[in-house]
Amino acid sequence: MNKKSMLISSSELFFILVGCIVGISSTSLPVDVVSIAKQDGWISTIIGGIYPLYIVLIGGIIIKKYPNSNIMNLSKAYFGKIIGNILNLLFMLQFLFYGVLVISSSSNQLRAYSIYFIPHFKMVMILAIVACYASIKGLKVLCRFAGITFFLLCLIIVASTVTFKSGSILNVKPFFGAGVPNILEGSIKSAFSYGNMELLLIIYPYVQQKKAILKTALISTLVIVFCYSWIVFTSIYFSGPDLVVKQLWPFSFVAESFKIPVVNNFRFIEMVIWIIIAYKTVSIEFYASTKILNSITKIKRKTICFLLLPIIFIIPLFMENEVIRREIAGKVIPWITLFNISYVTIIALLTLLIDKKKLINKKGEKPINEKI
């Protein structure tokens, strides 16, 4: 196989970064921010986008100096193999945790809105097996899968514009009426939903156009912020802040107003699209987990996929209650975010202060020759 054909293009990088963050869980995002920032929740969501933007910009320092390595290799080079691998393990657990959350959330939502006749454990099993299978196929396949789901996401975004006939501008007014303190507090809450941009620091060595990485990542961030802000704004515009906080998945409720010619029930179509998007999100997060664990243990990634499969199947079984699932996420994700900011920032500062090029192979772990 040609070496270049094993790498991903900048457009594929865009699709997988957007795909890793924007998933079915975004339909519940309005509840978190509106409960604090009221009608200005969409403003909080925009401000919360500073988090992924920071990861991209600080990550740009690492990418520029070590374009053919990744954060796992750098961690081992700067902190030593033992401490470096411990940090890498903690870094890996976030993707595994997010994957578990998406699986349980997807099962809960899909059973509540459409396929209620399928038991929770069967839904979880299907999602886990598909994630494992897609992850084994590698990064190229996941990028193509993410490309397809991106256009499906665009379809939902475009279709949601019809809600402007049913909603009211009064639901989002007065602008800044919730007060700056509440808007800022809501932005912190929304920032937690932007997790997984750290994927960039794992896969950037496999991007063919090195000079386009930062630009592509920035564009991805802007698209993600737009999608999240649009979801929150549309939910508020259609339902109003008082009703949004009483729903589990406000944006899915918006789909009830979709009236499209020839289509009798857009809600069903929307659920099918969200199922596909959920498969994609879990698959990418599972891939990231196996990739990091492969760097730590040197065990073949395919073997790791099967070893981790029981984890992403068993743990979601205990999150059948959506309220409990959100309570767990609310307690854990802030710590994950704090760790990510600290970890990435320290690695970036070390790359500026200490030159480890003699200890780090400029080709990293030979990314062009290995199966990605």
Q: Pull the structure tokens for residue 238.
A: 């259609």
- The yes-or-no verdict on residue 358 having pLDDT over 60 is no
Query: How far is Cα of residue 8 from the mean position of the Cα atoms in its chain?
Result: 19
- The percentage of residues in the chain with a pLDDT greater than 70, rounded to a whole number, is 90
Q: Give the three-state DSSP class for 49.
A: coil
Which pTM does this prediction carry? Answer: 0.90
Q: pLDDT grade, residue 261 (50/70/90)?
A: low
Q: pLDDT grade, residue 360 (50/70/90)?
A: low
Q: Give the three-state DSSP class for 289.
A: helix
Q: pLDDT grade, residue 304 (50/70/90)?
A: very high
Average confidence (pLDDT) over 264-283 = 81
Report the pLDDT value the prediction gives residue 161, as an integer from 0 to 100. 82
Cross-strand bridge partners of residue 360: none
Rounded to the nearest 5 degrees, what angle is found at the Cα of 107, between the Cα atoms of 194 and 115? 130
Q: d(Cα 150, Cα 155) in Å, to the nearest integer?
A: 9
Q: What's phi and psi for 162, nearest 5 deg?
A: -70, -15
- The yes-or-no verdict on residue 258 having pLDDT over 70 is no
- The yes-or-no verdict on residue 50 having pLDDT over 90 is yes
Report the pLDDT value the prediction gives residue 221, as an integer from 0 to 100. 95
For the ranges 59-63, 105-109, 150-154, the lowest mean pLDDT is seen at 105-109
Q: pLDDT grade, residue 262 (50/70/90)?
A: low
Give the residue carrying structure tokens 């379809």: 155
Report the pLDDT value the prediction gives residue 259, as an integer from 0 to 100. 62
Give the residue ranges of DSSP H helices in the chain.
10-21, 29-37, 41-48, 50-65, 71-79, 81-113, 120-137, 139-159, 180-191, 200-203, 213-239, 241-244, 250-254, 266-297, 301-314, 322-353
Q: Torsion over CA of 275, 280, 286 and 289, rounded to 10 degrees?
A: -140
Contacts of 344 (CB under 8 A, 6+ apart): 55, 58, 59, 62, 71, 198, 201
Q: pLDDT grade, residue 1 (50/70/90)?
A: very low
Report the pLDDT value the prediction gives residue 356, as an integer from 0 to 100. 67
Q: Pull the structure tokens for residue 66.
A: 């070590």
Contacts of 44 (CB under 8 A, 6+ apart): 33, 36, 37, 183, 184, 185, 186, 187, 189, 190
Give the Å distances, CA to CA, from 340 to 51, 87, 333, 345. Answer: 10, 10, 10, 8
Report the pLDDT value the prediction gives residue 156, as an integer from 0 to 100. 86
Q: What's phi and psi for 260, nearest 5 deg?
A: -120, 135
Contacts of 246 (CB under 8 A, 6+ apart): none
Contacts of 9 (CB under 8 A, 6+ apart): 207, 208, 209
Superfamily of domain 9-353: Amino acid/polyamine transporter I (1.20.1740.10)
What residue segments make up the domains of the chain, in order of their start? 9-353
